[in-house]
Amino acid sequence: MSRGGRTIRLLKLLSRLSAAAILVWGAGCAVALQPEEYRLIQTSRYSELEKLMESRITKPSSAPTAQLFHLCYAYSKLKRYNKLFPCLDQLEKNIEKGDRNVFFYDFSATPSLMRAEAYIEFGDHTKAIEESTKAYDMVLKKDLYRQFR
Protein backbone atom coordinates (compact mmCIF):
# COMPACT_ATOMS: atom_id res chain seq x y z
CA MET A 1 0.00 0.00 0.00
CA SER A 2 1.29 3.43 -0.88
CA ARG A 3 2.08 6.08 1.63
CA GLY A 4 -0.82 8.25 0.36
CA GLY A 5 -3.28 5.34 0.82
CA ARG A 6 -2.18 4.83 4.43
CA THR A 7 -2.55 8.54 5.15
CA ILE A 8 -6.10 8.54 3.77
CA ARG A 9 -7.01 5.45 5.84
CA LEU A 10 -5.52 7.04 8.94
CA LEU A 11 -7.46 10.28 8.36
CA LYS A 12 -10.71 8.31 7.88
CA LEU A 13 -10.07 6.40 11.10
CA LEU A 14 -9.32 9.61 13.01
CA SER A 15 -12.49 11.28 11.70
CA ARG A 16 -14.59 8.27 12.75
CA LEU A 17 -13.03 8.21 16.21
CA SER A 18 -13.58 11.96 16.56
CA ALA A 19 -17.23 11.58 15.55
CA ALA A 20 -17.70 8.77 18.08
CA ALA A 21 -16.05 10.83 20.83
CA ILE A 22 -18.30 13.81 20.05
CA LEU A 23 -21.39 11.60 20.21
CA VAL A 24 -20.39 10.13 23.57
CA TRP A 25 -19.49 13.55 24.98
CA GLY A 26 -22.68 15.08 23.57
CA ALA A 27 -24.89 12.45 25.19
CA GLY A 28 -23.41 13.28 28.57
CA CYS A 29 -23.96 16.99 28.01
CA ALA A 30 -27.59 16.44 27.06
CA VAL A 31 -28.28 15.01 30.51
CA ALA A 32 -26.37 17.85 32.14
CA LEU A 33 -28.51 20.41 30.28
CA GLN A 34 -31.75 18.90 31.57
CA PRO A 35 -33.42 20.95 34.34
CA GLU A 36 -32.92 19.49 37.80
CA GLU A 37 -36.66 19.10 38.47
CA TYR A 38 -37.09 16.91 35.36
CA ARG A 39 -34.21 14.68 36.45
CA LEU A 40 -35.68 14.32 39.95
CA ILE A 41 -39.09 13.33 38.57
CA GLN A 42 -37.53 10.81 36.19
CA THR A 43 -35.61 9.20 39.04
CA SER A 44 -38.56 9.29 41.49
CA ARG A 45 -36.67 11.45 43.99
CA TYR A 46 -39.76 13.25 45.25
CA SER A 47 -38.40 14.46 48.60
CA GLU A 48 -35.55 16.19 46.81
CA LEU A 49 -38.01 17.57 44.26
CA GLU A 50 -40.14 18.97 47.08
CA LYS A 51 -37.13 20.68 48.69
CA LEU A 52 -35.90 22.06 45.37
CA MET A 53 -39.25 23.50 44.36
CA GLU A 54 -40.01 24.90 47.82
CA SER A 55 -36.66 26.71 47.69
CA ARG A 56 -37.54 28.15 44.27
CA ILE A 57 -41.16 29.03 45.01
CA THR A 58 -41.24 31.56 47.80
CA LYS A 59 -44.71 32.85 46.95
CA PRO A 60 -47.00 30.20 45.38
CA SER A 61 -49.53 32.82 44.23
CA SER A 62 -46.95 34.24 41.81
CA ALA A 63 -45.31 30.97 40.76
CA PRO A 64 -45.72 29.96 37.11
CA THR A 65 -47.57 26.75 36.30
CA ALA A 66 -44.41 25.09 34.98
CA GLN A 67 -42.85 25.37 38.46
CA LEU A 68 -45.99 24.89 40.52
CA PHE A 69 -46.78 21.61 38.76
CA HIS A 70 -43.51 20.09 39.98
CA LEU A 71 -44.23 21.13 43.56
CA CYS A 72 -47.80 19.76 43.46
CA TYR A 73 -46.52 16.55 41.87
CA ALA A 74 -43.98 16.08 44.67
CA TYR A 75 -46.69 16.65 47.30
CA SER A 76 -48.94 14.15 45.53
CA LYS A 77 -46.29 11.44 45.37
CA LEU A 78 -45.23 12.05 48.99
CA LYS A 79 -48.88 12.08 50.11
CA ARG A 80 -48.54 15.49 51.76
CA TYR A 81 -52.22 16.25 51.39
CA ASN A 82 -52.19 19.28 53.69
CA LYS A 83 -49.88 20.93 51.14
CA LEU A 84 -51.24 19.25 48.00
CA PHE A 85 -54.74 20.73 47.98
CA PRO A 86 -53.66 24.39 48.40
CA CYS A 87 -51.02 23.79 45.72
CA LEU A 88 -53.65 22.38 43.35
CA ASP A 89 -55.96 25.32 44.09
CA GLN A 90 -53.22 27.72 43.00
CA LEU A 91 -52.36 25.57 39.99
CA GLU A 92 -56.01 25.72 38.94
CA LYS A 93 -56.05 29.52 39.35
CA ASN A 94 -52.99 29.77 37.10
CA ILE A 95 -54.66 27.59 34.48
CA GLU A 96 -57.84 29.68 34.61
CA LYS A 97 -55.70 32.78 33.94
CA GLY A 98 -54.23 31.11 30.84
CA ASP A 99 -50.93 29.74 32.22
CA ARG A 100 -51.60 26.12 31.22
CA ASN A 101 -48.40 24.68 29.79
CA VAL A 102 -45.82 22.33 31.27
CA PHE A 103 -43.40 20.39 29.05
CA PHE A 104 -45.04 22.20 26.08
CA TYR A 105 -48.36 20.48 26.85
CA ASP A 106 -51.65 21.86 28.16
CA PHE A 107 -52.03 20.60 31.73
CA SER A 108 -55.54 21.97 32.29
CA ALA A 109 -56.92 18.64 33.52
CA THR A 110 -54.01 17.90 35.87
CA PRO A 111 -55.38 19.49 39.08
CA SER A 112 -58.55 17.39 38.82
CA LEU A 113 -56.57 14.25 38.03
CA MET A 114 -54.35 14.74 41.09
CA ARG A 115 -57.37 15.47 43.29
CA ALA A 116 -59.13 12.34 42.01
CA GLU A 117 -56.10 10.23 42.88
CA ALA A 118 -55.95 11.72 46.39
CA TYR A 119 -59.67 11.12 46.94
CA ILE A 120 -59.25 7.48 45.87
CA GLU A 121 -56.52 7.13 48.50
CA PHE A 122 -58.87 8.68 51.08
CA GLY A 123 -61.59 6.21 50.09
CA ASP A 124 -63.89 9.07 49.03
CA HIS A 125 -65.01 7.55 45.75
CA THR A 126 -67.82 10.04 45.18
CA LYS A 127 -65.38 12.98 45.12
CA ALA A 128 -62.90 10.93 43.09
CA ILE A 129 -65.55 10.30 40.45
CA GLU A 130 -66.52 13.99 40.42
CA GLU A 131 -62.92 15.11 39.91
CA SER A 132 -62.11 12.46 37.32
CA THR A 133 -65.30 13.31 35.41
CA LYS A 134 -64.31 16.99 35.51
CA ALA A 135 -60.87 16.09 34.14
CA TYR A 136 -62.32 13.86 31.43
CA ASP A 137 -64.80 16.53 30.34
CA MET A 138 -61.91 18.99 30.04
CA VAL A 139 -59.92 16.47 28.00
CA LEU A 140 -62.81 16.18 25.56
CA LYS A 141 -63.58 19.90 25.49
CA LYS A 142 -59.99 20.97 24.81
CA ASP A 143 -58.94 17.86 22.88
CA LEU A 144 -56.16 17.11 25.38
CA TYR A 145 -54.20 14.02 26.32
CA ARG A 146 -55.24 11.78 23.46
CA GLN A 147 -53.63 8.82 25.23
CA PHE A 148 -56.31 9.03 27.97
CA ARG A 149 -59.12 8.16 25.58
- CA 143, 147, 148, 149 torsion: positive or negative? positive
The domain segmentation of the chain, as residue ranges, is 1-33, 46-148
pLDDT tens for the chain, 149 residues long, are 566 666 666 666 556 666 555 665 555 555 567 889 999 999 999 999 999 999 999 999 999 999 999 999 999 999 999 999 999 999 999 999 999 998 888 999 999 999 999 999 999 999 999 999 999 999 888 888 665 45
pLDDT at 146: 62
d(CA 4, CA 123): 79
d(CA 28, CA 114): 33
- This model's pTM is above 0.85: no
pLDDT at 18: 60
Residue in 68, 71, 73, 74 with CA at minimum distance from that of residue 100: 68
Residues 6+ apart with CB under 8 A from 94: 63, 64, 65, 68, 100
d(CA 80, CA 118): 10
pLDDT at 34: 85
